[in-house]
A and B are shown apart, each in its own frame.
Chain A
């Protein structure tokens, strides 16, 4: 009995994935648990293991974007005949039977092999280049300037329906190609480069557009970093063997301690409810060459700064190498975004939904400040907290941010 391999849902909110390449060829023997193909989801690229043993009889989708649940391959016995059905419709459903009937009528004289059939089902475009789309989907696409060729159809036979176009519109799928970054100043003007959005960029666009809908407010505070820098220096000396703790690690730890005292900030806004989480799972925004990821350090309130540093170093390393697992990205309750290393003194971060707050961290700069009536030079750092006002009120955010400042200025208070 052949097993259909379907595109798995690797995390909440995953609707589709892009098959990068197959690690096995048709006809290869496959053991259950062996890496079978590489999958690019909106968050990570990872190897997916075979969930059956046997022979890889058929690769139905060689590469490209596929919705979750679609059959992408078949594993079975050597010599077994394979038919890849369009699994998404119930077998024997009237619509399915009718489609088959039409198909037979249309191509009575030509027989198709399975791969052709699959191609036809996967792609809304039929052989003659015509895109299968409902009249309503076409009208919406026309009105919003969306190229239907860029839209994955989820209707019967892969037809693009209105909902697909609406979704594409919401994720900011471009009608016109995206312009590449400006060419280097030394280069003579060149042709416009066209970069199709990767699934990661689409996700960034979709999630940040969504985040932009939230009614947010910002709170700013300036922290004297004198004591924190001393503590950090001492920690580096004590952790000569492990990952070197950074100011960010220290900030992660004190934020976790402050979140535990202000649980309303350690919250997810879920439309009809606010979830207050018992543990501070802090996401660290990491810039990577083709985008941005936010791996999560779980349970920061229970970890030492050295443990946080080790976890952070591991995650950042994996993120830059494109080796993050889905689990590395799930479960965040709060996010810290630090652009201090680029010399940015202050900025406003965009919410990371459904999280209720995100902390933007600026650079630590020597600044003249008045202390006890005297102007002295102190290391100062600006923090800006963005709060979802649907979940957090001003005073709550202010008390939290005040504690973060207090813990950085007097680390003993966090104990």
Chain B
């Protein structure tokens, strides 16, 4: 089995889809000769040419609108938004156009577009280049939202996103691009809406997304040395959400921690906590704990940035609170 980095896995999914299907093409700022600002599309213009690997003007609104138009005409475009912070500029197109046309046309139109984007802290990009804004898009009916945390997941999920007939906002995490994993020779599509249990446990379920999946896994290992058995589950697709898998896990462990890098307040974890309390109310033995970034813009200073975003020790503290006891 080949070992692929998260970056290579994204490229692999794009390239395979483009080889298989002439309707698939990619567009974005500096994605051709430069290979994208994160190097994801490096070399693709050589294989597929500038017609299918299209550089766009520096206008997220224009490129999003063009991708939506192409999708409505029967193509399966994948548009790259260089930083998810810049989704703000494309929001009109994504929220008011892409998400609505299928509904407003009574099903006569479909918009099979994928918006790939990336973000996240951990390398001091500052307040305008490190946010985690996935929750905004989960709030919009008509959009699907994916947040992949491993090379095999990102490859299989991106394939499914491209071939989904609805608009998908596809989040990647900047600090995961170098992460390597062995993946099968054959690309196995991962259906949207299917959670992944990374680790089974008995005492606490940590529901984590993106980078926090890995932080949760190291917290789980640490907790195990204290005798606390932790289950780590990644929903992978935020919309549709695999509620059943999350609820079943908490019914087994009776305790739940929700962890993401995004700001805690109104974060995706709030929705998960609600799903869990409703679906597993009579199984909960402790309040649901939430882990996320502090309510502050992300600082440039590395030490300050580290303070604002959550790490494995924050997850571990939350795990310990859920199993906490007063009596001894």
Contact = CB atoms under 8 A, between A and B. Distances in A.
Interface of A: 15, 67-70, 86, 88-89, 93-95, 134-139, 152-158, 161-163
B321 A136 contact: no
B38 interface: no
B285 A137 contact: yes
Given A94-B321, A95-B321, A162-B254, A88 B327 contact: yes
Contacts of B283: 135-136, 139
Interface of B: 254, 281-286, 317, 321, 324-328
Given A139-B282, A161-B286, A67 B324 contact: no
A89 B317 CA distance: 13
Nearest to A133: B285
Given A94-B321, A162-B254, A157 B326 contact: yes
A69 B328 CA distance: 6
Contacts of B254: 136, 162
A67 B285 contact: no
B325 A155 contact: yes
B274 to A, nearest CB: 14
Main SS class of interface, B: loop
6 contacts: A70-B327, A88-B328, A135-B283, A136-B283, A153-B326, A156-B321
A89 B328 contact: no
A252 B327 CA distance: 40
Q: 4 closest A-B pairs (Cβ-Cβ)?
A: A154-B327, A88-B326, A136-B285, A139-B282
A155 B284 CA distance: 13
A153 B317 CA distance: 22
Nearest to A122: B326
B328 A155 contact: no
B324 A135 contact: no
Contacts of B327: 15, 67-70, 88, 152, 154
A161 B283 CA distance: 11
B286 A134 contact: yes
B328 A135 contact: no
Contacts of A95: 321, 324
A158 to B, nearest CB: 6
Contacts of A153: 326
Contact of B324 (A68, A137, A155): A155
A368 B325 CA distance: 64
B314 to A, nearest CB: 9
B18 to A, nearest CB: 49
Nearest to A142: B282
Contacts of A134: 284-286
B326 A158 contact: yes
Contacts of B326: 67, 86, 88-89, 153-158
Contacts of B282: 135-136, 138-139
Given A139-B282, A155-B326, 13 more contacts: A68-B327, A70-B327, A88-B326, A93-B321, A94-B317, A134-B285, A135-B284, A136-B285, A139-B283, A155-B286, A156-B324, A158-B326, A161-B325
Nearest to A16: B327
B328 A154 contact: yes
